[in-house]
Amino acid sequence: MFKKLTVLLMLVLTVVLAGCAQTEHKTGTTGSVTDVTGSGTSIVEKLDPNLKQVELTVYRVPKNGDTHLVPEKVKYAIGSKKMPEAVMDALVNTAPASKQLMNVFPAGTKVLGVTVGGDTATVDFNENFAMRGQGSYNEMMMVNAVVCTLTEIKGIKKVKFFVNGKPIDTISGHMDLGDPLERLPGMIRKQAGSTEKQ
- For 69-119, write each residue's pLDDT tens digit: 999 999 999 888 999 999 999 999 999 999 999 999 999 999 999 999 999
Exposed (0-12), middle (13-18) or buried (19+): which is 157, by Cβ within 10 Å?
middle
Assigned domain for 89 exists: yes
Assigned domain for 28 exists: no
Classify each residue of 53-66 as buried b or exposed e, where b means 16 or more C-beta atoms within 10 Å of its C-beta: eeebbbbbbbeeee
Domain range for 146 is 45-187
Assigned domain for 146 exists: yes
Collapsing DSSP states into helix, strand and coil, what is residue 150?
A: helix
Measured CA to CA in angstroms, residue 44 lies from 31, 61, 64, 129 at distances of 11, 21, 27, 18
Q: Quick one: pLDDT at residue 198?
A: 53
Assigned domain for 107 exists: yes
Assigned domain for 83 exists: yes
19-42 pLDDT per residue, tens: 444 433 333 434 444 444 344 444
Residue 14 confidence class, pLDDT cut points 50, 70, 90: low
| Beta-bridge partners for 115 | 122
Assigned domain for 34 exists: no
Assigned domain for 171 exists: yes
Give the pTM: 0.70
Assigned domain for 33 exists: no
115-167 pLDDT per residue, tens: 999 999 999 999 999 986 678 899 999 999 999 999 999 999 999 999 999 99
Q: Quick one: pLDDT at residue 74?
A: 93
Q: Radius of gyration over alpha carbons of the chain, in Å?
A: 23
The Cα 84–Cα 78 span in angstroms is 10
User: Structurally, how many domains does the chain consist of?
Assistant: 1
Top pLDDT among 80 and 13 is at: 80
